[in-house]
Amino acid sequence: MKFMPEPYRIKMVEPIKMTTRTEREEKIKEAGYNLFRLRAEDVYVDTLTDSGTNAMSDAQWSALMRGDEAYAGAKSYYHLVEAAQDIFGYKYIQPVHQGRAAEKVLFPSFLEKGKYAIANLFFDTTRAHVELAGARCLEACCPEAADSQLRAPFKGNMDIAKMEQLIKEKGAENIGMVVMTITNNSAGGQPVSLKNMREVAALCKKYGIHLNIDAARYAENAMFVKLREKECRDMSVKEITREFFKLADTFTMSAKKDTIVNMGGLIGVRDADAPYILKIKANCISYEGFYTYGGLNGRDLEALAVGLYEGIDENWLRYRLGTMEYIGERLDEYGIPYQSPAGGHGIFLDAAKFYPQIPYYEFPGQVLAIELYKECGLRGCDIGSYMIGNDPDTGKQLQSVNEFTRLAIPRRVYTQSHYDMVIEAINEVWKKRETIRHGYKITWEPPILRHFQAELTPVKE
Ligand code: F0G
């Protein structure tokens, strides 16, 4: 297979520290076997997240100089609003400092105690903000996503029959909103088809339920749709984006992903006269800052306005998805299991298949992440039972459908030789998989979003 050449070249570099295996064993122990607690300088290739870890372009760095830092009504705000309105076709655009801020500002308009939100899968902070608003999460991801070896084109889709069953079970009046996560991060960065989005929108319309897009990786999703959904083959990524967004009422977006900046977020509302816009502005002023800057600097708004267009450049997106495909095909050669086909923002190794001997409550995804760090200084993270945590009502450890170790690839940061090194290291860990007999237990955890802070220890030394 071929590595698709980068549609950019390097203008500035950042040295990386080299460490030995013995040093890394020490560092991860000191970090309580939690990769979030490592110092970043002790990591060689950092795939903890693709969020805010992107390299900005020369055009974005120059745009920073045009930042208008006025408190209210800055030029930069209008630049951003125009760009977002042009791409998404929504009338009201609210900048916020990141994705979870968008959730915090928007969700209380639709969710409260006694209500539910249904998603094709929630990402961790989105789940937390549904629960912080007092509501509970229900999920209806398509069954294909549970089988990492099944190569289906749209493993991020909503299971429409299950969604309708959940609506009937809980009563449509109790479903505060439906969230479509595109791409579906927890399912492995897997795309949602336009057909599926239309079916979800039709159900929401039938039952009068608010539809929100969790749009962090909407551009990668649109590119998958262009490549895989026949009807969209001749459409541009921007046209596909417009089609998706006109089906929903609102979107919440972490702009730290597909819009290639280091910080930022957006809320979008399709209709200019939606009554909850007032509540969005009020919440934004209380929690984020005045609604024309939403917790961002003027220069951040400018970089985001440029990044919105760079993020839908089709040469870029072909390269981006091509990189994931290359890594996936090389792993196939070694017979290494991952959520296949490869997702849009990373590779999700199937840790349950690496370590069938380790039960979910000893966190196979975390075990694999730790082994990879020790092997070569690669940092990934668990997307499995360790991340999902405990049931908010009973406090019991939940079992995740999949036990993934996610390698989320930052945008425009690493080169083919980094990926080749990573692939060889994964293979070394794969070859030694039967020697790992036990996982980890948690010795301390906070009540919410525990995986970021928890401390762990090996079940047996
Ligand atoms: N929605 C999705 C689908 C996400 O993946 C994330 C963040 C958020 C919302 C929240 O956005 O971080 O800007 O507040 N995901 C990151 C990740 C952190 O590593 O996947 P945020």
Q: pLDDT by residue (tens digit) across 168-185?
A: 999 999 999 999 999 999
Residue 151 pLDDT exceeds 90: yes
Provide the number of structural domains found in the chain: 2
Q: Rounded to an integer, what distance in angstroms lies between the CA atom of residue 391 and that of residue 192?
A: 27
Report phi then psi at 325, rounded to 5: -65, -40
- Which residue of 217, 257, 263 sits with most ligand 1 atoms within 8 Å of its CB, as the best mutation to test the pocket? 257
Q: Rounded to an integer, what distance in angstroms lies between the CA atom of residue 13 and that of residue 196?
A: 42
Q: How many CB atoms lie within 10 A of CB 282?
A: 12
**Mean pLDDT of the region 267-285:** 97
Beta strands in 200-345 (DSSP E): 211-214, 250-254, 265-269
Residue 423 pLDDT exceeds 80: yes
Angle of CA points 180, 184, 190, to nearest 5°: 135
Residue 95 pLDDT exceeds 90: yes
Q: Which atom of ligand 1 is nearest to the CA of 256?
A: 13
**Mean pLDDT of the region 336-353:** 98
**Mean pLDDT of the region 128-140:** 95
Q: Name the residue at shortest CA distance from atom 15 of ligand 1.
A: 51
Q: What is the DSSP pairing of strand 404-408 with strand 175-181?
A: unpaired
Q: How far is the CA of 299 from the centre of ligand 1 (A)?
A: 22
Q: Which atom of ligand 1 is nearest to the CA of 217?
A: 3
pLDDT at 447: 86
**Mean pLDDT of the region 298-308:** 98
Q: Do 275 and 321 belong together in one domain?
A: no
- Amino acid letter, residue 16: I
Residue 461 pLDDT exceeds 80: no
pLDDT at 345: 98
Q: What is the Cα 370 distance to its own chain's centre?
A: 21
Per-residue confidence at 2, pLDDT binned at 50, 70, 90? confident
Does residue 8 lie in a domain region? no
Alpha helices (runs of H) in 89-134, residue ranges in sequence order: 99-106, 124-132
Does residue 369 lie in a domain region? yes
Q: Rounded to an integer, what distance in angstroms lies between the CA atom of residue 183 and that of residue 120?
A: 10
Q: Do 328 and 185 belong together in one domain?
A: no
Q: Do 119 and 231 belong together in one domain?
A: yes
CATH, residue 33: 3.90.1150.10
**Mean pLDDT of the region 193-206:** 98
Q: Which SS3 state, helix, strand or coil, does residue 325 take?
A: helix
Mean pLDDT for the chain overall = 97
Q: Do 293 and 323 belong together in one domain?
A: no
Does residue 271 lie in a domain region? yes
**Mean pLDDT of the region 259-279:** 98
Q: Rounded to an integer, what distance in angstroms lies between the CA atom of residue 330 and that of residue 286?
A: 49
Q: Rounded to an integer, what distance in angstroms lies between the CA atom of residue 366 and that of residue 275?
A: 44
Q: Rounded to an integer, what distance in angstroms lies between the CA atom of residue 190 and that of residue 225?
A: 11
- Residue 126, ligand 1, Cβ within 6 A: yes
Q: How far is the CA of 94 from the centre of ligand 1 (A)?
A: 17
Q: Please identify, among 282, 310, 338, the residue that sits at the C-terminal boundary of a domain.
A: 310
Which tops the pLDDT comparison, 408 or 392?
408
Q: Rounded to an integer, what distance in angstroms lies between the CA atom of residue 138 and that of residue 334?
A: 37
CATH, residue 138: 3.40.640.10
Say if residues 426 and 346 touch (Cβ distance below 8 Å). Answer: no
Could you tell me which of 117, 159, 53, 68 has the C-alpha nearest to residue 401?
159
- Amino acid letter, residue 131: E
Q: Please identify, among 276, 310, 344, the residue that sits at the C-terminal boundary of a domain.
A: 310
**Mean pLDDT of the region 65-85:** 98
Residue 377 pLDDT exceeds 90: yes
Say if residues 209 and 172 touch (Cβ distance below 8 Å). Answer: yes
- Residue 184, ligand 1, Cβ within 6 A: no
pLDDT at 372: 98
Residues of the chain with pLDDT > 70, as a percent, come to 100
Q: Please identify, among 310, 338, 364, the residue that sits at the C-terminal boundary of a domain.
A: 310
Q: How far is the CA of 180 from the centre of ligand 1 (A)?
A: 14
Does residue 5 lie in a domain region? no
**Mean pLDDT of the region 359-371:** 98
pLDDT at 324: 98
Does residue 94 lie in a domain region? yes
**Mean pLDDT of the region 347-355:** 98
Tokens of 365: 């995804």
Residue 1 pLDDT exceeds 80: no
Lowest mean pLDDT among 302-311, 356-365, 385-394: 385-394
- Residue 323, ligand 1, Cβ within 6 A: no
Helix axis angle, 364-376 relative to 416-431, nearest 10°? 120
pLDDT at 110: 98
Residue 335 pLDDT exceeds 80: yes
Q: Do 333 and 305 belong together in one domain?
A: no
pLDDT in tens, 221-259: 999 999 999 999 999 999 999 999 999 999 999 999 999
pLDDT in tens, 18-68: 999 999 999 999 999 999 999 999 999 999 999 999 999 999 999 999 999
Length of the chain: 461
- Residue 97, ligand 1, Cβ within 6 A: no
- Which residue of 123, 192, 256, 261 sits with most ligand 1 atoms within 8 Å of its CB, as the best mutation to test the pocket? 123
Q: Which atom of ligand 1 is nearest to the CA of 102?
A: 14
Residue 124 pLDDT exceeds 90: no
Say if residues 303 and 60 touch (Cβ distance below 8 Å). Answer: yes
Q: Rounded to an integer, what distance in angstroms lies between the CA atom of residue 213 and that of residue 184?
A: 11
Q: Name the residue at shortest CA distance from atom 11 of ligand 1.
A: 99
pLDDT at 448: 84
- Amino acid letter, residue 82: E
Q: Do 305 and 329 belong together in one domain?
A: no
Residues taking part in catalysis: 71, 123-124, 214, 216, 257, 451
Q: Residue 350: which H helix or E strand, with range? A: strand 346-350
Q: Rounded to an integer, what distance in angstroms lies between the CA atom of residue 372 and that of residue 47?
A: 11
Q: What is the Cα 243 distance to its own chain's centre?
A: 21
Q: How many CB atoms lie within 10 A of CB 58?
A: 10
Q: Do 273 and 148 belong together in one domain?
A: yes
Checking 77-84 for CB contacts under 8 A at 24+ apart, the result is 77/292, 77/293, 77/298, 77/301, 79/301, 79/302, 79/305, 80/301, 80/302, 80/304, 80/305, 80/308, 82/305, 83/304, 83/305, 83/308, 83/309, 84/266, 84/268, 84/305, 84/308
- Residue 259, ligand 1, Cβ within 6 A: no
Tokens of 166: 């959940």
Tokens of 229: 């959904």
Domain boundaries, position 454:
21-50+313-458
Q: Do 83 and 190 belong together in one domain?
A: yes
Q: Do 27 and 112 belong together in one domain?
A: no
Q: Do 423 and 341 belong together in one domain?
A: yes
Q: Do 319 and 241 belong together in one domain?
A: no
Tokens of 341: 């086909």
Per-residue confidence at 283, pLDDT binned at 50, 70, 90? very high
pLDDT at 449: 87
pLDDT in tens, 429-448: 999 999 999 999 999 999 88
Residue 392 pLDDT exceeds 90: no
Per-residue confidence at 320, pLDDT binned at 50, 70, 90? very high
